[in-house]
Structure 1
Amino acid sequence: MGVLLGDDWRGGIFDGGWRAGSGGTIEVTEPATGAVLGRVGAATPEDVRTAATRAAAAQRGWAATDPTERAAVLRRAGALWEQHAAEVQSWIVRESGAIGVKAATETSTAAQECYEAAALPTHPAGSVLAGEQGRWSFARRRPAGVVSVIAPFNFPLILSIRAVAPALALGNAVLLKPDPRTPVCGGVVLARVFQEAGLPEGLLHVLPGGADVGEAAVTAPEVRVVAFTGSTAAGRRVGALGAEHLKRTHLELGGNNALIVLPGADPALAASAGAFGSFLHQGQICMATGRHLVHESLHDEYVHLLADKARELPVGDPARGEVALGPIIDERQLAHVDRIVRDTVAAGATLAAGGTHEGLFYSPTVLAEVETSMPAWEQEVFGPVAPVLPFSDVDEAVELARATPYGLSLGILGDVGVAMRVADAVPSGIVHVNEQTVSDAANVPFGGVGASGTGGRAGGAEANIEAFTETQWLTVRPGIAPYPF
C-alpha cells in the first residue's frame, strides 16, 4: 500500500490507534468493477458511546492547548494532503467512482480546509460588551466540546474534512461517521493524516457503520454539535433526534437546483455549463443542476447542443482510462435514477439523449418536453440527468425556479442586470451568475435553505466559529461585589 495508509487500518476503527470494531468488518468495494479493495472495522452504538466518553476527556486538554500548537497540527495536516495527494486520489477514484479531476479537487480542497482552519485558533474569540455596575463584561467563544460529523459518499473527503478540520482547530473533539460505502477516503485517510500531523490521541474517532451508529453519534450525552451532510429525508430524522436530545444540528441536505438560461445568452457556452452542472460525478452532487430553465428563443438549440454533449461524453472506469463519467455508487442508486427517467418518459417527456446503462455506468441523459409535474423535474435525481423546460419571460422563470421545497444552489446565465433581479427573487443559499450550480471553496459559508438545510454553517471563519463554538457571557470585577443580603 501507499506510504500514508499502510496496513494497520484494515479491519479496524480509529480512536487514536486502530482496533477491531465490535460490529465486525465492512467490505470496501470498487463500484466500477465490484472488486474488493479492503475491509474496515464496523462500529456499533456501544463503540460510539465509548468513543464519546473518551473524546470528552481528551477534549478538555486539547481546548487548553496553546492556540499556536493547535494551528500547527492543522498546517501539518494541510501539507500532508498535498504530499500524499496521488495516493488519496487513487482511493477516491476507485472507492467512489470519481474521475481524476474530481479526485484532485477533493485533495486540494482538503489541504485548503486545513490551512483555513489553522487560522481559527488565533482568531478573535469574542467581544467586549458595555459594562455596568463597576464590572467588565465580555462575550467569548468557547469550544462546544464533542462534535459528531456524519458524512456522505459522493464527496467523501471534502464533506468530512470541512467539518472535522474547523471543529478540531477550535478546540473540540470529533466523532466521524463516514458513509459505509466510502469509509476509506471518507474516514481512514483523515485518521491517518491527523495521526501523522500529531493530533493527540482520543480527539478524532472514525466510526464506520449504519444508521444505528449515526443515531448513537447524535444521542451520545457528550455530543453537543452534529454536522450532517446527506439526503433531506435522513436530515429530517437527524434534526428531529437532535431536537429531542437538545443537540445543535447543522444540516446540509439535498437540492433540486435550477440553471436559468436568459434570453441573449450564448447557447453553446450555456449548454457546456449545463452539461458540467448535471453530469459531473454522474450527477451525484447536492449542487448538481437538476432543472434547466431555458428561454423559449434558445430552448430547441440548447436541447440539441446539450444532447450532443451528452452523447459525446465518455463513460467508463475512471481508474483505467480518461473518461468524463464513472459508475453510479451502487445498484440501489442506479435503480433510483433509472426509475425516475423511465417514469418521466412514460409521463410524456422525450428522451433526447441517454437513458441507458451498462452495469453501474449510466449514460448522460437529456429529457425534453418536460412538464413540472414529472418525476425528473420534481425530485432530486442524484444521477446524470438533465431535464429541460422552456420559459417565456423572466417572471415565469422566477416562478418556476421558486416552485420547489429546496433552496441550495442557483445558476443564472446571461445579462448580469437581469440575473441580479432573478437572484434577489429566488430563495437559495448559493447563487452563481454566469456559472453553473456546482461550486465550493474552503473560505465560503456553504449551505441551503428550506428542504436543503439549515443555512451556511461550514466554511469561512465566522460560519465555522458559529457552528463549532458556544457563546459564553463573562463578567469580571476588581473585587467582590457588595450585596444587600
Structure 2
Amino acid sequence: MNSGAETKEWSGRLYSDGWVSALGGVSNVVEPSTSEILGNVGNGNRDDIARAVQSAAKAQLAWAATPFDQRAAVLREAARLLKQNEGEINEWNVRECGSTPAKAQWELHATYEQLIAAAALTMQPDGELYPSTMPGRMNICRHVPIGVVGVIAPWNFPVLLATRSVAPALAVGNAVILKPDVQSAVCGGLLLAKVFEEAGLPSGVLHVIPGGPEAGDALVRHPQVGMISFTGSTAVGRSIGATCGQMLKKVALELGGNNALIVLDDADLDAASSNGAWGAFLHQGQICMQTGRHLVHRSVAEDYANKLVERAKALRVGNPFKDQVHLGPLINQKQRDRVDDIVRKTVEAGAKVRTGGEYSDLFYQPTVLTDVTPDMPAFNEEIFGPVAPITVFDTEEEAVELLNSSPYGLAAAVHTRSLSRGWALASRIRSGMVHVNDQTVNNEFHVPFGGMGASGNGGRFGGAANIHEFTQTQWVSAMDAPIKYPF
C-alpha cells in the first residue's frame, strides 16, 4: 500500500472479486481545502451492485462455514494492517475529508479497536438452551448469519463508520457490500478493501462499490440483500426504512441528531464551556452527535457564553494538510451554504452573533449565537457545522422540555456539580445516549451506540449488541425419538 494515487490498484476502479473497472464510470476525488483533484475512483451503478450481490451470495456460504478462529484471524490481521498503513490512510482522511491529523489518528485507532472487538465476537456463544415442556426435547435458539449485508457509510468519519458495520457483519459469517460516499471513497472504502484483501479475506466476501444514489437504491432494493446498515441523514434514512419495511428486510438506521448540552446553575463553567466547544466545533461540527443546542440556566448564561466565545476565538481554521489548525474545511459548497443559511436566518429572527458567522471558501469560522429561541432555525435544525446556539432556561423542567421538543434523540449531556442531580435529569431525557459532566460526541467500541426518535430505528452498534444486529435468530428443537400425536 504505497502512497500516490497513480500507483494504486484502486485508481479509477472498485473492489468486487478483485480490482475491476466500474460499469458506472469514474468519479473524481476532490480535496475540499483546495478543490484539487487528487485522483479518481470507480463510480458504481445498478449493474455493479447486481454483479456484486451475485458474487457475495455465493461466497457467503463458504465464509459462514469457515471455523470461527479462522474468521477471527482475518479480522486481527486486518487490524494489524490498518495500523501498519496508518500514515497513508490518515493522509487520505485529511485530504479527502478535511479532517485534522489528530481527528484522523483518533478515527484510525477507534477503527482498529472495532476490528479487534469484532474478532472477539466470533468466539462468543452463538445460541442459548431453553427448557421444554416436552420430555426429552432440546430447545436451542441460535444466531445465524443474515447472508448478504449492505452497508451504506457516510463521509464524515468514513473509516470508522464503515468498519463499525463491516467488521461485525463479517465476524458472524455474513458477506458484505460496502457503498462508501463518493466524497470519502478512498479512505472510507477502497483502502479498507485493500486491507481486507491483504489480510486474506476470501474473494467475494467483501465488495466495495463507491457510488451515489443510484448505487445506494440498487443495494437497498436488491432482493438478495438481507439487511441494510445505513448511517446518514434522517430524510434518506426514512426512505430506506420504508423500502426495507415493504420488503420485510432487516434495517439498522443511525441517523441525524440535534443534540443538546444542558448547563445547570451549579455547573463548573470552565469545564462546561470546554465540553461545549469540543462538542460544537470538533471536525467542523460535521458529526451526528454534534452539540447543536446549548441550553444554559439564565443565571450563568452570560458567563458561559463569554467563556465559549473565548474558546471559539482561539481556534485556528485552515488547510489541515498544510497547516497546524483546529478546524478544516466543510465537505462541500452545498454544506457550507446550508450552514450559513441557518445562521443568517437565525440572526434575522433576533439572535446575536457573538463570534464567527463568516467564511472563506469552505472554511467556516467557529460561531457562537446567543438569544436563540425555540422558534429559530438554529434551534430546530441539525446544523452539521461549527455553530453553537445558546438558549436560556429558568428551571430544570423547562430544560428537559426544550431538549425533548426535538424529534431527534441521539445524544445529550448535562453539566452539574451534583452527580445525583445529573443522573435524575438524565432519566427524564429522551435520547439514546446521555452523558453527565461530559459532551455529546462520545463513542466507545464496546458500548451499544444508537438513537431514538428521528435519530434511528433502535438499532445498536457495539459489543454484544453487534451479534443481535447482524444475525437472525433460529429456533431448533430436537428429540432422540419422535413424538406420537393423537392423530
Q: TM-score range by the shorter chain?
A: over 0.9
Contact 2:152–2:179 (CA under 8 A) maintained in structure 1: yes
Aligned AA for 1:372? P
Distance across 1 between alignment mates of 2:485 and 2:4:
62
1:261 to 250, 263, 280: 263
Measure the CA separation in 2 of the matches of 1:50 and 1:422. 51
Partner of 1:437: 440
Specify the alignment match of 2:453 in structure 1. 450
Deviations 1:321-351 (A, max 9, x none): 1101000000000010000000000111000
**Could you tell me which amino acid in structure 2 is paired with residue 382 of structure 1?**
F
Secondary structure class of the residue paired with 2:283:
helix
Change in 2 beyond 3 A, CA 1:100/1:362? same
- Partner Cα distance (1:15, 1:194) in 2: 12
In the other structure, the counterpart of 1:474 is: 476
Match of 1:354 among 342, 353, 356: 356
Asked whether the 8 Å contact 1:445–1:456 carries over to 2, the reply is no
Q: What are the ranges of 5 or more consecutive residues in structure 1 without an aligned counterpart?
A: none
Rounded to whole Å, the distance in 2 between the matches of 1:18 and 1:61 is: 21
* Cα 1:74/1:159, change in 2 over 3 Å: same
Work out whether 1:74 is the aligned partner of 2:75.
yes
Q: Residue 36 in 1 paired to residue 28 in 2?
A: no
Contact 1:446/1:455, CA 8 A, preserved across alignment: no
Find the aligned partners of 1:44 and 1:396 in 2 and give their Cα distance. Answer: 49
Residues 31 and 95, structure 1, Cα contact 8 Å, conserved in 2: yes
- Given that 2:2 and 2:8 are in contact with CA atoms closer than 8 Å, whether structure 1 keeps it comes out as no
Structure 1 position 95 matched with structure 2 position 96: yes
CA distance in 2, matches of 1:189, 1:137: 44
Unaligned residue ranges in structure 2 (runs of 5+) = none
One-letter code aligned to 1:293:
L
Partner of 1:160: 162
What does 1:8-27 align with in structure 2 at a 5 Å threshold? 8-27=9-28
Q: In structure 2, the residue corresponding to 1:367 is in which secondary structure? A: strand
Aligned-partner residue type, residue 252 of structure 2: H
**1:423 and 2:413 aligned:** no
- For 1:308 and 1:155, locate their aligned partners in 2 and report how far apart those are by CA, in whole Å: 28
TM-score by length of 2: 0.98
Q: Distance in 1 between matches of 2:120 and 2:144?
A: 16
Give deviations 1:262-319, integer Å, cap 9, x for gaps: 1121212211110000000000000000000111111001111111211220000000
Residue 4 of structure 1, CA deviation = 11
Q: C-alpha distance in 1, partners of 2:178/2:40?
A: 17
Residue 456 of structure 1 deviates from its aligned partner by 4.4
Single out whichever of 353-362 and 184-193 deviates more from structure 2: 184-193
2:377 to 375, 378, 385: 375
The alpha carbon displacement at 1:392 in A equals 1.0
CA distance in 2, matches of 1:145, 1:310: 48
> Could you say which residue in structure 2 is the equivalent of 1:309?
311
State how far apart, in whole Å, the 1-side matches of 2:315 and 2:33 are: 17
CA–CA distance in structure 1, aligned partners of residues 413 and 198 of structure 2: 40
Q: Alignment RMSD, CA only?
A: 1.3
1:198-213 equivalences under 5 Å are 198-213=200-215
Instruction: State the 1:408 CA deviation.
Output: 0.3
Contact 1:429–1:456 (CA under 8 A) maintained in structure 2: no
Change (3 A) 1:165 1:246: same
**2: CA distance, partners of 1:472 / 1:456:** 19
Distance 2:410 2:233 in 1: 12
Matched positions, count: 484
Deviates most, 208-217 or 273-282:
208-217
Q: Secondary structure at the match of 1:164?
A: helix
Query: 1:106, CA displacement in angstroms?
Result: 1.0
Matched, 1:124 2:117: no
SS at 2:158 equivalent? coil
The answer to whether the 8 Å contact 2:146/2:472 transfers is: yes
**How far apart in 1 are the matches of 2:222 and 2:445?**
29
Q: Does 2:353 align with 1:321? A: no
Residue aligned with 1:174, SS: strand
Partner of 1:61: 62
Give the corresponding residue for 2:185: 183
The question of whether the paired residues in 1 share the 8 Å contact of 2:410 and 2:432 is answered with: yes
Q: Please tell me whether the aligned partners of residues 16 and 195 of structure 1 are also in contact (alpha carbons under 8 angstroms).
A: no
Letter in 2 for 1:117: A
123, 147, 150: which one aligns with 1:145: 147
How far apart, CA to CA, are the structure 2 residues paired with 1:45 and 1:484?
54
Distance 2:247 2:40 in 1: 33
Q: Distance in 2 between matches of 1:277 and 1:67?
A: 39
Q: Deviations over 1:173-220 (max 9, x none)?
A: 001000111101110111011011100000101111111111111111
Equivalent position amino acid for 1:445 in 2:
P
Which stretch shows the higher mean deviation, 104-113 or 262-271?
Answer: 262-271
Aligned residue for 1:460? 463
What SS does the aligned partner of 2:455 have?
A: coil
Q: How far apart are residue 3 of structure 1 and its match?
A: 6.3
